Amino acid sequence: MMPIHPSPTHLLIYSLLAKPHKSPSSKMVSRCHEILNLGQAIEVQINECRFCMFNLNFEPKALGARYVNGSTIVVIVSGHAAIMCSITPCCAGDLLGDRDAARRNARAKMEEVKGWYDEFKDGFFPTGPHETHCIVWCSVFELPPSQGGRDPNTAQGDHVPHPTHPRPSHPGITVAMPHQIEIIGQVLHEMELEPEFKFYLFREVPDEQGSRGTILVDGRGMSIEVYMHDRLVHVVETPRQVAQRLLK
């Protein structure tokens, strides 16, 4: 099968993922960078899947990913544990722009996610309402119409995300890797999880601010806190918090 030639934006994503990243200066160190540098979190590298439990006797109690710019990040989190997976447009050795390779990589990484989830589901990921949460961060890019930018609500083909997840509503914003997002949505549906899809803007020139491109699941405190770019976006109660609330 002949590979489908990638768009210039897709090639930029591939090239940025392949470049080494410089650590931010000390005055710009973000929450995620600081926790990782102190060894208080498990680092999720590019195209890697990791698991972390929040048991009192287990260290570290956090998961962090940095230099996120073009990858899709899948997080499954409860008051007991978390899974974080970074999914790149393709894995090493695959032909750039080959969407079949991108789909294979997404499928392989989601099989890892499913493996972790199935292994620890009974003890760490309760199926009750509001107990286990799933968040997917998708890269989007913005181009002017003169350069091929299209509204994802009216675009056709690969630019239309799978119906099981929402589309960015801003005109001219397009999901960067819709062919992978479709597979991710399908696998999560098979796992009987209802993901919350969030979008972040892919940047051709990485931001100098240290907090950009970071995702952190922090289970060191009384609650489980999820951060994107150092902004708190989700909070999950721990069993201790639930017990205290019910006893009041």
Inside any domain, residue 26: no
Inside any domain, residue 20: no
- Cα pseudo-dihedral 215, 220, 223, 226, rounded to 10: 0
Inside any domain, residue 137: yes
Inside any domain, residue 83: yes
Looking at the structure of the chain, the number of domains it has is: 1
The residue assigned the tokens 């200066």 is: 25
| Measured distance CA(49)–CA(45) in Å, rounded | 8
Inside any domain, residue 36: no
Strands 62-65 and 81-87: unpaired
Residues 62-81, buried b or exposed e (16+ Cβ, 10 A)? bbbbbbbbbbbbbbbbbbbb
- Please write the tens of the pLDDT for every residue from 55-108: 878 889 999 999 888 899 999 999 999 999 999 876 555 545 567 888 899 999
pLDDT of 28 > 80? The answer is no
Token output for 97:
């722009």
Specify whether the CB–CB gap between 139 and 72 falls below 8 A.
Answer: yes
Helices (H), 24-90: 31-37
The residue assigned the tokens 């620890």 is: 120
Inside any domain, residue 141: yes
CA angle, 135 then 213 then 177, to 5°: 60
The boundaries of the domain holding residue 176 are 41-247
Inside any domain, residue 68: yes
- Chain-centroid distance of CA 81 in Å reads 16
| Measured distance CA(200)–CA(206) in Å, rounded | 13
pLDDT of 202 > 70? The answer is yes
Q: Give me the helix-helix angle, 99-124 and 178-190, nearest 10°.
A: 30
| Measured distance CA(66)–CA(63) in Å, rounded | 10
Inside any domain, residue 127: yes
Average pLDDT, integer, range 31-35 = 93
Average pLDDT, integer, range 148-168 = 43
The residue assigned the tokens 């796992």 is: 191
pTM (predicted TM-score)? 0.77
* Per-residue confidence band for 125, with pLDDT thresholds at 50, 70 and 90: very high
